[in-house]
Amino acid sequence: PGASPSSGALNPFDRQLKRKQKNWAALQAEPAKCDYLREEVRGRRHWRGHLECCGQTFPLALDVGSGRGYIAQHLTKETVEKLVQVDIAENALKNAVESEIPTVRVVADEEFLPFKEDTFDLVVSSLSLHWVNDLPKAFREIHQVLKPDGVFIGAMFGGDTLYELRCSLQLAELEREGGFSPHVSPFTAVTDLGHLLSSAGFNTLTVDTDEIQVNYPGLFEVMEDLQGMGESNCSWNRKPLLHRETMLAAAAIYQEMYGNSDGSVPATFQIYYMIGWKYHESQAKPAQRGSATVSFGDLAKIEGLLKKGKK
C-alpha cells in the first residue's frame, strides 16, 4: 500500500512513484550500466566480512529490495542453498540476473513482508531500505521472519549521501527563486540505526560506516545516473520541476564549490553496513556485572611488564 500526501512526516515517500521509477530503470536498454554503485558496495570488505564471519551455509535466505539480483549473482551454493527475492518493482524481478542458486521471486513491499514468522535463516538487504516509510516497522518485519539464531546483514545509504548535490541545488534555488524545496530524500542518521535495530529485537549488533566517492563530468550526469539506478527523489514534498536557469546555476555552483582539477565533480555516497542476530538460547551471553577477576589497572601493569621484557 502506498502512503498519501496527507500522511505527513510519518510517510515521507510516495511508494507508488518509487515503484514506477524502479520499473522504468529496469526496462532501460542497458540497465546494468548504472549498477556500479551496488557492485562497489557488495565488493567492499564490510559486506564480505559480515558474510564470511558467519562461516556457515544458510538453507533459506531472503533478499529484501533485491532489484535485479545484485546480491544473488555473487552468492554460491556453499553460502545459500535457496533464495527468495522480494522487490516492489515487478520489472526489476522479471529482468533479474540469473545465479546458480535456486531462486523464487516475489513482488511485495519491503514494509509488508508476506512470510510466516521464523521462516528464513538469513535476510540480506542492499541499498533499498532508505526508501521505506516506516523503517522501525521494516526492521521488525525482518526480525519476525528470521528463525531464532538467524542473521540480518544490510547496507543502506546514510545521511551525508549526495551532500554536494543537495547543497548546490538549494543555493541555486535560493538565488534564482527565493527559496528551496528538498530534491534529495532524507536519510537515517547512524546514531539512530543501532537503536532502531535493537528496538526491533536484534542483538550482537555491528554498525559500520563507509564512504564511496564517484566522479562525474557534471551535475546533469549525476542526476542522469541516479535516474538510471531508480534512485530519483520520491518524497511527497519534492518539487516536480526545476527551471532551466536554476539547473544551470546549480551546475555552476557544483563545479565552483566541489569541482576537481580535471573538471569533473564528485558525488559522495555514505553507506551504513549493519549486522544483527535474532536471539537464541545457544548464543553467547555477556558475563554478569561484577564477575570480572582482573581489573583494568592489572592489565595496565601487565602491559608495562611486557614492554620491560622486550627491552
Please tell me what DSSP assigns to residue 154: E
For residues 249-277, give the mean pLDDT: 95
Note whether residue 231 is domain-resident.
no
For residues 15-38, give the mean pLDDT: 92
Phi/psi at 16 (nearest 5 deg)? -70, -35
Note whether residue 57 is domain-resident.
yes
Phi/psi at 294 (nearest 5 deg)? -130, 135
Distance CA 153, CA 281 (A): 21
Task: List, for residues 61-73, the tens digit of each pLDDT value.
Answer: 999 999 999 888 8
Distance CA 275, CA 255 (A): 37
CATH number of the domain at 55, please: 3.40.50.150
Contact 37, 226 (CB under 8 A): no
For residues 143-152, give the mean pLDDT: 95
Note whether residue 27 is domain-resident.
yes
Note whether residue 169 is domain-resident.
no
For residues 117-142, give the mean pLDDT: 93
Phi/psi at 274 (nearest 5 deg)? -140, 150
Contact 275, 142 (CB under 8 A): no
For residues 98-114, give the mean pLDDT: 91
Q: Which residue has the higher pLDDT, 11 or 158?
A: 158
Q: What angle do CA 54, 59, 62 make, to 5 degrees?
A: 80
Query: Which residue is it, cell 514468522?
Result: 117
Note whether residue 98 is domain-resident.
yes
Residue 302 has pLDDT above 50, yes or no: yes
Mean pLDDT (the chain, rounded): 85
| Extended beta strands in the chain, E state | 61-64, 83-87, 103-107, 120-126, 146-157, 202-216, 265-278
Residue 1 has pLDDT above 80, yes or no: no
For residues 265-273, give the mean pLDDT: 95
Distance CA 219, CA 155 (A): 25
Among 17-21, 43-47, 299-303, top mean pLDDT goes to: 17-21
Residue 18 has pLDDT above 50, yes or no: yes
Q: Name the CA dihedral angle for 278, 283, 288, 289, rounded to a multiple of 10 degrees.
A: -50
Task: List, for residues 224-251, the tens digit of each pLDDT value.
Answer: 999 999 998 888 877 767 788 989 999 9
Contact 162, 267 (CB under 8 A): yes
Q: What angle do CA 6, 19, 248 make, to 5 degrees?
A: 85
> How many domains does the chain contain in total?
1
Domain range for 77 is: 15-161+187-213+268-280
Distance CA 223, CA 81 (A): 38
- Lowest mean pLDDT across 8-12, 52-56, 130-134, 295-299: 295-299
Distance CA 279, CA 57 (A): 19
Q: Which residue has the higher pLDDT, 4 or 166?
A: 166
Cross-strand partners of 61: 83, 122
pLDDT at 94: 93
> Residue 104 corresponds to which amino acid?
V
Indicate the pTM of the whole model: 0.82
Contact 165, 222 (CB under 8 A): yes
Task: List, for residues 193-232, the tens digit of each pLDDT value.
Answer: 989 999 999 998 989 999 999 999 999 999 999 999 999 8
pLDDT at 179: 61
Distance CA 29, CA 23 (A): 13
pLDDT at 141: 95
Q: What angle do CA 134, 140, 141 make, to 5 degrees?
A: 90
Confidence band of 3 (pLDDT split at 50, 70, 90): very low
pLDDT at 191: 81
- Lowest mean pLDDT across 26-40, 90-104, 167-181, 269-283: 167-181
Residue 6 has pLDDT above 50, yes or no: no
pLDDT at 198: 93
Neighbours of 137 (CB within 10 A): 14
Among 73-77, 114-118, 166-170, top mean pLDDT goes to: 114-118
Note whether residue 209 is domain-resident.
yes
Residue 43 has pLDDT above 80, yes or no: no
Note whether residue 289 is domain-resident.
no
pLDDT at 279: 84
pLDDT at 249: 94
pLDDT at 5: 43
Query: Which residue is it, cell 563545479?
Result: 255
Note whether residue 155 is domain-resident.
yes
pLDDT at 44: 75
Helix axes 244-258, 219-228, angle to 10 degrees: 110
